[in-house]
Amino acid sequence: MKKIFTLFCFVAIIANAHAQPGGQWVPQGENLLTNDYGTNDISVVDENIVWTVACKTNFSTYTFEDCLLLRTIDGGENWTFVDVSGLVFTFIVGVHAISETTAWITTCDGDANQKSIHKTTDGGDTWVAQYSEEVPPNRLFPPAVKFTDEQTGFFIDIWGKASGRTADGGMTWETSDLFTNEAENLFFYWGQLSQQNWWDVKGDTIWWGTSRYIARSINGGVDWEYFFTNLPQNNPIQAIAFNPEGLGLAISDQQTILGYTSISETVVLRSEDFGATWTPLPNVPFPMSIITYIPGTENSFIGVSGEWFTFSEQLGEYVSAFTPDGGETWQMLDQGIARNAIRFASPSLGWAGRVEDFDYGAINPAIFKWEGDLNTDAKEFLKEVNIGVNPNPFTGQTLLEFELNNNTQPVEITITDVLGKVIQTFRFEKPNSGFNRKLLNIEAPAGLLFLTLKQGDGLKTIKLVKQ
């Protein structure tokens, strides 16, 4: 349990469903990449055009190598490699595309200590360096770039401590200082697992985060304000996403247990005013490294996990999950497949990347495509099931109460600890249609627990505290 949430209600409901609600992840680009490639970034233009960057990771230096740029123009039926052989670079970190032919990539050249933004307008046949800076070796990481239309674009350069904006398609850039003195002194860690997911832009408003604060500019990066998150030092904001109406989520998925870093739950912060204020929501009891807003929905976001699992021993599980109500409840889409980077074109189509060295079996996809409507009756199980316990916190026994509309399937109750270890299970073969009550004698050490009610493909999880 992250410290930021210890004062919040432990019985807040988090809903999820193991069955894909009307869809599934479909592997694409089978065996295009060897197993040591992982996805750095994804840029989705529409339901047909997607660009993505894949690289190998050098774990001795924590840099990338042998990077490849891929593109599809037919919704992923065919993926082709984009020629970047004319560029001098050590690795590619990010990509942002606005059409089949026009895209920007961010690169680093370790030999020349140069970081750059390159643009193509002919689908990768030629590239033009639009922004370049020579830096010391310890600051060799490229800026993250986004364009809101053909002419208007922005970049965030963490190590260069600068933000940039262009009004002419990247031909010229105006830069500003990224930090105030106070913010720079409290910089700490930042979690850029995917450039497109780590920050967001809506109009002239920009957001990005570190382990200490979320930064916001309302004038295209000229000036910055900082909202302190009170997260532990090793809990960076991994992703920020907003809908067009100003509701946004920021997530962090790391925590330290027993002396080493793991992922077992997700910290979620929410803003309903374009980032002017942020409120912590109850932690999600499974890990998500990356989230994105689902275009065409009101308040739906989708997330995946996996990238940090390659860096150290982990206690969480790989999942994909989405929320139909701005982070209040979450539904699990699948479990056990590692993914990194995620972008959606519509409620029924999106893409998520792969993680290096994860065993995907004989299929070995280059990318995953979501097919299925996430804008349909996503809240159905949430509507059908009410659940609560009393007392909570409790000492030995607590009374479980739940209400069902469906009594045709058995109900299974699972008690787990914060590491996901199953403590106890209870089963109701013939629950009532309507109100149900069961006194539970929970034999577990004192501390935070999770109670999960599962019926068919739906489940709900609530938090318990045993004293």
Averaged pLDDT, 299-323: 73
Asked whether the predicted pLDDT for residue 8 surpasses 70, the reply is: no
Query: Is residue 121 a contact partner of residue 79, using CB atoms and an 8 Å limit?
Result: no
Of 177-181, 317-321, 455-459, 460-464, which one has max mean pLDDT?
317-321
Least confident of 161-170, 187-196, 379-388: 379-388
| 77 token code pair | 């039926």
Domains of the chain, earliest start first = 3-381 (2.130.10.10), 385-466 (2.60.40.1930)
**Residue of 350, 352, 324 whose CA lies nearest to 337:** 352
Q: In whole angstroms, what is the distance from residue 218 CA to residue 227 CA?
A: 14
Residue 90: per-residue pLDDT: 78
Please compute Rg for the chain using Cα positions: 23
Dump pLDDT digits (tens) for 30-46.
999 999 999 999 999 99
Least confident of 58-72, 200-214, 329-343: 58-72
| Amino acid, res. 29 | G
Q: In whole angstroms, what is the distance from residue 36 CA to residue 18 CA?
A: 29
| Burial grade of 439 (CB within 10 A; 0-12, 13-18, 19 or more) | exposed
Asked whether the predicted pLDDT for residue 323 surpasses 70, the reply is: yes
Asked whether the predicted pLDDT for residue 256 surpasses 80, the reply is: no
Q: In whole angstroms, what is the distance from residue 202 CA to residue 73 CA?
A: 25
Task: Write the CB contacts of 344 (distance below 8 Å, at least 6 apart in sequence).
Answer: 44, 292, 293, 294, 295, 302, 350, 351, 370
| 114 token code pair | 């140069």
What is the percentage of the chain residues whose pLDDT exceeds 90?
41
More confident residue, 246 or 141: 246
Asked whether the predicted pLDDT for residue 147 surpasses 60, the reply is: yes
Residue 318: per-residue pLDDT: 82
Q: How far apart are the first and last CA of the chain?
A: 15
Residue 205: per-residue pLDDT: 96
Q: In whole angstroms, what is the distance from residue 179 CA to residue 187 CA?
A: 9
Averaged pLDDT, 6-21: 33
**What is this structure's pTM?**
0.76
Q: In whole angstroms, what is the distance from residue 355 CA to residue 137 CA?
A: 26
Asked whether the predicted pLDDT for residue 19 surpasses 60, the reply is: no
Dump pLDDT digits (tens) for 93-118.
899 999 999 999 998 887 768 889 99
| Burial grade of 317 (CB within 10 A; 0-12, 13-18, 19 or more) | middle
Omega cis (within 30) before 347: no
Averaged pLDDT, 129-158: 86
Q: In whole angstroms, what is the distance from residue 455 CA to residue 467 CA?
A: 28
Residue 5: per-residue pLDDT: 24
Averaged pLDDT, 153-164: 89
More confident residue, 120 or 335: 120
Averaged pLDDT, 78-90: 88
Mean pLDDT for all residues in the chain: 82
Q: In whole angstroms, what is the distance from residue 418 CA to residue 409 CA?
A: 28
Dump pLDDT digits (tens) for 181-206.
655 555 555 666 788 888 999 999 99
> Confidence band (pLDDT; 50, 70, 90) for 294?
very high
Which backbone phi and psi does 307 adopt, to 5 degrees? -60, -45
Dump pLDDT digits (tens) for 388-441.
899 999 998 999 998 887 777 888 898 876 555 678 899 988 888 788 998 999
Residue 342: per-residue pLDDT: 95
> Confidence band (pLDDT; 50, 70, 90) for 56?
confident
Q: In whole angstroms, what is the distance from residue 342 CA to residue 197 CA?
A: 7
Residue 461: per-residue pLDDT: 72
Residue 446: per-residue pLDDT: 86
What is the percentage of the chain residues whose pLDDT exceeds 70?
80
> Confidence band (pLDDT; 50, 70, 90) for 282?
confident
Q: Rounded to 10 degrees, what is the CA torsion of 161, 166, 171, 173? A: -30
Residue 189: per-residue pLDDT: 56
